[in-house]
Amino acid sequence: MGPSDILRRIPKTEKILALLSQDPTLNQLSSARLLEAVRLVLANLRENIIGQKTNTVPLIEDILAESRRTALDLMNLKLKPVINATGIILHTNLGRAPLALKAAEEVQKAALFYSTLEYDPIKGIRNDRLIPVEELLIGLTGAEAAMAVNNNAAALFLLMVTLAQGRKVVISRGELVEIGGAFRLSDIIEAGGATIAEVGSTNRTRLADYQKALGSENAAAILKVHASNFKKTGYTGETGVEELAPLARSYGLPLIVDAGSGTFLDLAPLGLSEETPVQKILTLGADAVCFSGDKLLGAAQAGLIAGKKDIICALKKHPLARTVRPDKLTLAALEATLKLAQDPAEAKKQIPTWRMLYSTEKELQKAAVKLKRTLGTYPGLNLAVIRTESRTGGGSAPEQPLNSWAVAIESPNLEISRLEERLRQQNPPLVARIWRDRLILDVRTVFPAQYAQIKNILSLAWTELTSSPASSAEG
């Protein structure tokens, strides 16, 4: 049977539409919306048949279910909440850090009303919007000065443009990293008008390598970069900030550190020894440290820079500073989060990324038991509480797992990837990973308030899967 014969067996649009209009859960949708949904589903099906991705026409129930889902989807905004059961705390595709409630409330206020963004109401004069965040950053890091921009890539760019345009930046060959989404550090440095003076080798860079480059190059700065999303093992070695700082000073050059995630906490007790606290990097002698606001720090997307006064002053004076200026919503989230960070014990309760990072195995096991109990039972599915491993993600502490607990779902009669697919197609989508033919719901990244939602999502997905024969989707 050729594609044209299969195409002829697709049900008529009018027929699907008539059946769909009888669905009481869709009665808020206009007939135009329903028609749009049916057309999209059928067009997609035709495309798959012509492209020979499938050689069967699904059952009419399946086409109806798909049309229903598409119609409801057309109502929804594309950017919407997701339940993250992957255990990856800083999942870049899922929006990195969720905000603390306090921070989200401040964002809402700044959004709904006029604010003191650039106004001092006591003196009745204009004010710099960055001051509150800068003062908090100075307090938290012990730096002389600080600044906030739109993201860490922008921070690095502004540092390069201001300090190294037309000159060379000395950097280890082991630190020319690609962060993800094809974002390469070297591109940012070059876009900033600097050229890269590579030193050392991929796996080892010694102090003498830097010395040689500084002696012969028209260098403007030394840049040290957090290895971010990869780990060097085996015969490796790098030169630390404590060794580079005196060298940079002897040449009168700034030592800049891109810390990547950036944290104010000592994470070594968690086994995350790759992450050095920002204040420590400064104490070791860095002249400027830049890091993200929405990675481990748990605030909004931002690039934060802490360091020497003369450097920060130069950054602020550069005309391009205006192009990377954070907006009031970001500043509201940042100020509230940094304020919480002043009290680490409280921050570990209130900032979600901190709470997730510091959840103990015992707490996570209890949570997994509770989630399993909330989910209940389903004929054809086996649920079990198991140990698992979470990741920090977001280029922090790669390859360093955090022991965690999960609810594992197994189905003897169904390809587990079909359940995984149905769960992420619900609203809100439930994103989970598959491990050894089991679906793993890692509780570390799930908010307790989402347990009941997960139960509904699982029930819906399972009903959909079991009410239509498993064989109907594919031929």
Ligand X SMILES: *Cc1c(COP(=O)(O)O)cnc(C)c1O
> What residues line the site for ligand X (CB under 6 A)?
151-153, 179, 225-226, 228, 258, 260, 292, 303, 395
CB closer to ligand X out of 152 and 450: 152
Q: DSSP states of 14-81 as a string?
A: HHHHHHHHT-GGGTTS-HHHHHHHHHHHHHHHHHHHHTTS--SPPPHHHHHHHHHHHHHHHHS-SS--
Say whether 310 sits in a helix, a strand or coil. Answer: helix
Q: In the bound complex, what is the minimum distance in angstroms from residue 373's beta carbon to ligand X?
A: 38
CB closer to ligand X out of 133 and 179: 179
CB closer to ligand X out of 57 and 153: 153
CB closer to ligand X out of 200 and 393: 393
| Cβ pair 207, 243 in contact under 8 A | yes
Q: In the bound complex, what is the minimum distance in angstroms from residue 226's beta carbon to ligand X?
A: 4
> What is the torsion angle, in degrees rounded to the nearest 10, for the CA atoms of residue 308, residue 314, residue 319 and residue 325?
10
Sign of the dihedral defined by the CA atoms of residues 121, 122, 125, 130, in that order: negative
Return the H-helix or E-strand segment holding 314: helix 309-317
Enter the tokens of residue 265.
Answer: 């906490």
CB closer to ligand X out of 240 and 428: 240
| Cβ pair 127, 116 in contact under 8 A | yes
Return the H-helix or E-strand segment holding 386: strand 382-393
Q: In the bound complex, what is the minimum distance in angstroms from residue 395's beta carbon to ligand X?
A: 4
Phi, psi dihedrals of residue 215, rounded to the nearest 5°:
-70, -30
CB closer to ligand X out of 185 and 336: 185
Q: In the bound complex, what is the minimum distance in angstroms from residue 393's beta carbon to ligand X?
A: 11
User: Distance (Å, rounded) from C-alpha 131 to C-alpha 146?
Assistant: 9
Q: In the bound complex, what is the minimum distance in angstroms from residue 98's beta carbon to ligand X?
A: 16
**Rg value, the chain, Cα:** 27
In 3D space, the residue among 398, 353, 401 whose CA is nearest the CA of residue 178 turns out to be 398
Q: In the bound complex, what is the minimum distance in angstroms from residue 282's beta carbon to ligand X?
A: 17
Name the DSSP letter for residue 263: B
| Cβ pair 327, 133 in contact under 8 A | no
User: Distance (Å, rounded) from C-alpha 136 to C-alpha 412?
Assistant: 54
Q: In the bound complex, what is the minimum distance in angstroms from residue 137's beta carbon to ligand X?
A: 15
CB closer to ligand X out of 292 and 365: 292
Q: In the bound complex, what is the minimum distance in angstroms from residue 140's beta carbon to ligand X?
A: 18
Find all residues with CB under 8 Å of 301, minimum gap 6, and list them.
96, 150, 151, 292, 293, 294, 330
CB closer to ligand X out of 66 and 258: 258
Give the Å distances, CA to CA, from 315 to 222, 377, 405.
17, 59, 45
Q: In the bound complex, what is the minimum distance in angstroms from residue 396's beta carbon to ligand X?
A: 7
How would you label 381-420 residue by residue, b for 16+ Cβ within 10 Å and e otherwise?
Answer: bebebbebebbbbbbbbeebebebbbbbbebeeeebebbb
CA triplet 87, 91, 94: central angle to 5 degrees? 110
Q: In the bound complex, what is the minimum distance in angstroms from residue 257's beta carbon to ligand X?
A: 10
Enter the tokens of residue 361.
Answer: 């195995």
CB closer to ligand X out of 162 and 292: 292
| Cβ pair 85, 446 in contact under 8 A | yes
Q: In the bound complex, what is the minimum distance in angstroms from residue 457's beta carbon to ligand X?
A: 30
CB closer to ligand X out of 191 and 384: 191
DSSP bridge partners of 222: 170, 255
CB closer to ligand X out of 16 and 149: 149
